[in-house]
Amino acid sequence: MVKHRGVAKLSTALMGVLALLLLASLACRTGEILTPEEATARAQQAQERGAESVPSTAGGAEFQVNETVEFTGTEFLIPLRKEPGNVPPFSFAGRGDQATVLGSQEAEGEVWYLVKSAAGKG
């Protein structure tokens, strides 16, 4: 009878370790693993993009540079992205928050605005 309890404890411990390993592997899949060289290259590219002059104004832009705008939308949080396109947001502005337009550009058939707000610059 004593041997059976020991097996049960061992089995429970083994299941716990396996569950922990599964969670860790799932967490690793959500990010991207880069070599130090790749990370350095990406950081340098981001700095070069950030050092560029103020973006120009797109042809169909509704808002002008230095104009104050208010975030609106159907959701409470408005995503801010570092660049146009289907990239993950780096921050979120609240509906009703204000921002200053720094520039605009056309991408994917839409006008994208670079704004500076309390939530960040994007």
Q: Read off φ and ψ for residue 88, nearest 5 degrees.
A: -65, 145
Q: Is 87:79 a contact under the CB 8 Å cutoff?
A: no
Q: How confident is the model at residue 73 (pLDDT cuts 50, 70, 90)?
A: confident
Nearest alpha carbon to residue 55 among 79, 83, 78, 91: 83
pLDDT at 101: 92
Range of weakest confidence among 11-20, 49-58, 108-117: 49-58
pLDDT digits (tens, 9 = 90+) for 92-119: 998 899 999 998 888 888 888 899 999 8
Return the half-sphere exposure (C-beta side, CA atoms, 13 A cut-off) of residue 101. Answer: 20
pTM for the structure as a whole: 0.53
Q: What is the DSSP string of 44-86?
A: HHHHHHHTSPPPPPPTT-SS-TT-EEE---SSSEEEE-SSSSS
pLDDT at 31: 58
| Tokens 């009878």 belong to residue | 1
Whole-number Å distance between alpha carbons of 92 and 71: 10
Q: Which amino acid belongs to residue 113?
A: Y
pLDDT at 2: 53
Whole-number Å distance between alpha carbons of 44 and 50: 10
